[in-house]
Structure 1
Amino acid sequence: MKKSRHSIHFILLVSFFIPFLHVNAVFAQETVSEVIPGGQSIGVKLHTSGVVVVGFSPVNTDDGKVSSAEKAGVEIGDIILQVNGEKIKDMETFIDKIKGIEQENDPVQLLIKRQEHIFPLSFQPVYDSKDEAYRLGLFIRDASAGIGTLTFYDPESKSYGALGHIIMDHQTKKPIDIYNGKIVSSDITSINKGQNGAPGEKKARFSMDDKSLGTIQKNSEYGIFGKLKNPSYFNDLRDPIPVAKANEVKEGKAKILTVVKDDKIEEYDVEIINSAPSKNPETKGMVIKITDKELLDETGGIVQGMSGSPIIQDGKLVGAVTHVFLNDPTSGYGVHVEWMLNEAGLEIETDQETEKEAS
């Protein structure tokens, strides 16, 4: 089997790696008949709106260990949007605001976002005699990072799609409500092979201080989406290829594009075991199986960090790898590219539209 090789410099996120929450960015709808397939690995960093509660830090008091925030009803996964009426943009502004609270015995009012609900919570901080300060009893953070794979790029709109699934917080196990984010270059350092009951993963190196290659404007069930700032950096971008609607995908042989070693995109053989010809968006519309011996030897099958790897059948981009089966790492789910394109504000051009333009 002949492999096509192209040098790359990035790392992409895996479906079962870290899911994120839906951001209601609205993209103008455009029609496309072809896009450039990805396969590059990318580093991904998301910033939340406010700060996220990831745990509790009980304070030692005369009555035992107490977290006043937890006692008041704050839950892991909550997003703190305001403290005493002041907007919290990030960790730095939260810490600055809390410094004043630590010196006073006044009630604290938080504005909390929990899923789709926003509401206030007021409670009294607890005095920590050891630190001689008032504490809320919270562990918080404001960003998440991981790796994945670029699925497609549209040179006309500069829109891209990656991952093929939503990014979840690995600590809270909930979708991440993002404020903004960016993708950067990344280098794969090693592979942990997948085994039954234990999914493998790509190990990668990247710095979030690196120059942004693109924005992350949307995190949905179908992946992350935004605009590439410097497409020329991806010096391995291929020529555009046609895209297929969900009902055009059939069972049978196909290929995926992904990076396993040497920062090179390669083609690997897979088989589409099942494809649901749904007219409605479906996050797990395909079942795929890795059949390529070279890829199986390197990874054991589908591994974390492979999410977003483009699936190509009969010269058309048909979908992206998303999830692995825990009891069979050689197989997993894929999402149809039609639904990813829709999330990016791109609609597959119909034959009627093509004929109209030609005339």
Structure 2
Amino acid sequence: MLRNWSIRKIIGGILLVLLFSAAFYPPLQQLIQTPHHLVLFEGQDYDVPAALPALGISDDGVIAFTNEAGNYKLTGQHADNTSVQFGVGGFPLYSMDVTVLPELKIIPGGQSIGVRVQTEGVLVVGHHLIDSDDGSVSPGELAGIEVGDMITKMDGENIDEMNDINPIVQKAGETKEPIQVEVKRNGELLKKQIEPMKGKGESHFRLGLYIRDSAAGVGTLTFYEPKSKKYGALGHVISDMDTKQPIEVNKGEIVSSKVTSIEKGMTGEPGEKLARFSSDRKILGDIQKNSSFGIFGTLHDKLENGILKKPMEIALSHQVEEGPAEILTVVNGDQIEKFDIEIVSTTEQKFPATKGMVIKVTDPDLIEATGGIVQGMSGSPIIQNDRIIGAVTHVFVNDPTSGYGCHIEWMLHEAGINIYGEQKKAG
């Protein structure tokens, strides 16, 4: 009985050693690291682990398999779905689904741009009190109109800009009829009634509201698609400076701008690019969309950044690697420069999300000039392995050399550029 127990113990030990050793067996390690579903663009390569060669590839022309001096590669040939069998010694161990997407190349940006947007309606940014015979009150606040509301209609008339409001207010004040107001709040349309008032000694009626109908700022162009001229920039939403609410864009435009100086970033105090719109006021394109991934529209003409002039491949989120990368941005005038950064971490995202990468500036010249990532640098394209992988979005307040980046595929989607063609996104 004791002898049988000893034999079982020995056999168990041997099996444990074999199992432990197998974990460090190169083919098995590479098998574990091989994706279940590979997504490539037409013309893109995937390096196959040398210790885990492909055994069988469907003869459908979707991918090509090559072996050059022991370097195994899969190359996307035709947009479609297929599969590949992997194994060792002729014995199949693993099957990988492969999706090949239509070829897509875009032009990297890096240009400093001025942004001008007209809101959809007028934005309420505050209340002010009117000193009347009935006391100090704000008619707008009494009517239930809140900071952040967008006034879109008054007495049935569309409100596109601040100048549309005064005639309606004065007419209602004279007739002593309340104004029927439509406001948009968090995507919901609400109806309010507001009674204009005169202040003591004043001749005009007022609403007791601070309003704004436009916004302007600077940022960085990320990319444009050369055929459609659709572009993306900023990498984050434009929000009102007072309400912090996203601006709903009625119309807008981007113009060329020049960086005049830099306020360097420090711990606890983000820096900023100080820029002015170029003297020629040349309109580069329109703004059709303002989303959490930036602003999007169509360029009027082609743009060049002076560094990378040819269309470049993109990398999907699962193709981004931790390690060295570069950004294109302007720190002086309108000259685009290339600077070194590090991809500290990256998340393979199956659904749109803004914070896909953590990045760190490593270039001593950029750190010397800006302290790291500064406001106005948002949208600077991130390049890795000769592919556009995303854009700079936010800086860490407590570490101006570090910040977030978003993956390029989500910006392309927001721009209305169909990455996947007829293919479905990997699930």
Letter in 2 for 1:307: S
| Structure 2 CA distance for partners of 1:264 and 1:208, relative to 1, 3 Å | closer
Displacement after TM superposition at 1:62 (Å) = 2.7
Distance 1:132 1:310, change over 3 A: same
Determine if contact 2:169/2:196 at 8 Å carries over to the other structure.
no
Of 128, 148, 165 in structure 2, the residue corresponding to residue 57 of structure 1 is 128
Q: Contact conserved, 2:152 with 2:159, CA < 8 A, in 1?
A: yes
Structure 1 position 104, deviation (Å): 3.7
1:160 aligns with 2:268: no
Gaps of 5+ in 1: 1-29, 354-359
Q: Is the 8 A contact 1:66 1:126 kept in 2?
A: no
CA distance in 1 between counterparts of 2:363 and 2:304 reads 29
Q: Which amino acid aligns with 1:305?
A: G
- Answer yes or no: is 1:35 the counterpart of 2:76: no
For the Cα contact (< 8 Å) 2:181–2:191, is it kept in 1?
Answer: yes
Which letter maps to 1:263?
Answer: D
The offset of 1:61, in angstroms, is 1.5
Contact 1:103 1:133 in 2 (8 A): no
Could you state the TM-score of these two structures normalised by the residue count of structure 2? 0.72
1:149 maps onto 2:228 in alignment? no
Counterpart residue number, 1:231: 302
Q: Quick check: 298-307 or 135-144, which moved more?
A: 135-144
Displacement of 1:340:
0.6
Amino acid at match of 2:262: I
- Count of equivalent residues: 323
Given the alignment of the two structures, is residue 121 of structure 1 paired with residue 173 of structure 2, yes or no? no
Residue matched to 1:6 = none
Query: Quick check: which has more Rg, 1 or 2?
Result: 2
The answer for the alignment partner of 1:325 in structure 2 is: 396
Deviation of 1:344 (Å): 1.1
Residue 289 (structure 2) pairs with residue 214 (structure 1): no
Whether the 8 Å contact between 2:306 and 2:336 is mirrored in structure 1 is no
Shift of 1:234: 6.5
Q: In 2, are the aligned partners of 1:59 and 1:65 still within 8 Å (CA)?
A: yes
Map Cα deviations across residues 188-221 of structure 1 (whole Å, 9 max, x no partner): 1100000000000000111799232101111111
- How far apart, CA to CA, are the structure 1 residues paired with 2:243 and 2:420? 40
Deviations 1:283-327, CA, capped at 9 Å, x for gaps = 000000000000000000000000000000011000000000000
State which drifts further: 88-97 or 214-223. 88-97
Q: 1:348 and 1:116 mapped to 2: Cα distance?
A: 29
- Residue identity opposite 2:394 in structure 1: H
Distance 2:406 2:186 in 1: 25
Instruction: Check if 1:171 corresponds to 2:242.
Output: yes
List gaps (5 residues or longer) in structure 2. Answer: 1-100
1:217-238 Cα distance to aligned partner (Å, 9 max, x none): 1111111110001225877772
Is 1:180 aligned to 2:251, yes or no? yes
Separation in 2, partners of 1:280, 1:237? 29
Amino acid in structure 1 at the alignment position of 2:244: K
Instruction: Choose the corresponding residue for 2:326, options 255, 280, 289.
Output: 255
**Deviation at residue 31 of structure 1 after TM alignment:** 5.5
Task: Tell me the distance in 1 between the aligned counterparts of 2:282 and 2:117.
Answer: 15
Displacement of 1:161 in angstroms is 0.4
Name which of 137, 141, 158 aligns with 1:70: 141
Residue 82 of structure 1 deviates from its aligned partner by 0.9
Distance 1:126 1:349, change over 3 A: closer
Please say if 1:302 is aligned against 2:373: yes
Query: 1:75 aligns to what SS in structure 2?
Result: coil
**What is the rounded CA distance, in whole Å, between the counterparts of 1:322 and 1:102 in structure 2?**
47
SS in 2 for 1:157: coil
Kept in 1: contact 2:116–2:254 (CA 8 A): yes
- Could you tell me how far 1:174 is from its partner in structure 2? 0.5
Letter in structure 2 aligned against 1:258:
T
**Following TM superposition, by how much is the alpha carbon of 1:249 offset from its aligned partner in structure 2, in angstroms?**
0.2
CA distance in 1, matches of 2:415, 2:259: 27
Deviates more, 1:138-147 or 1:91-100: 91-100
Q: Which residue of 2 aligns with 1:189?
A: 260
* Partner amino acid, structure 1, of 2:163: E
Q: Partner of 1:18 in structure 2?
A: none
Equivalents in 1 of 2:173, 2:233: separation in Å?
A: 42
Find the partner of 1:97 among 149, 160, 168: 168
Structure 1 counterpart of 2:166, one-letter code: I
Q: Percent identity?
A: 52
Q: Distance in 2 between matches of 1:65 and 1:238?
A: 61
Letter of the 1:229 partner, please give it.
H
Note the C-alpha offset of 1:178: 1.0
RMSD of aligned Cα (Å): 2.1
Residues 209, 101 of structure 1: CA spacing in aligned structure 2 closer, same or farther, 3 A cutoff? farther
* Deviations, residues 39-72 of structure 1 (Å, cap 9, x unaligned): 0000001111111111112100133211011011
Provide the C-alpha distance between the structure 1 equivalents of 2:365 and 2:400, rounded to a whole number of angstroms: 15
The whole-number CA distance in structure 2 between the counterparts of 1:233 and 1:128 is: 55
Work out whether residues 170 and 204 of structure 2, in 8 Å CA contact, stay in contact via their aligned partners in 1.
no
Query: Normalising to structure 1: TM-score of the pair?
Result: 0.85
Please tell me whether the aligned partners of residues 45 and 208 of structure 1 are also in contact (alpha carbons under 8 angstroms): no
Question: Which consecutive aligned stretches of 4+ in structure 1 deviate over 4 angstroms post-superposition?
Answer: 232-237
Aligned to 1:289: 360
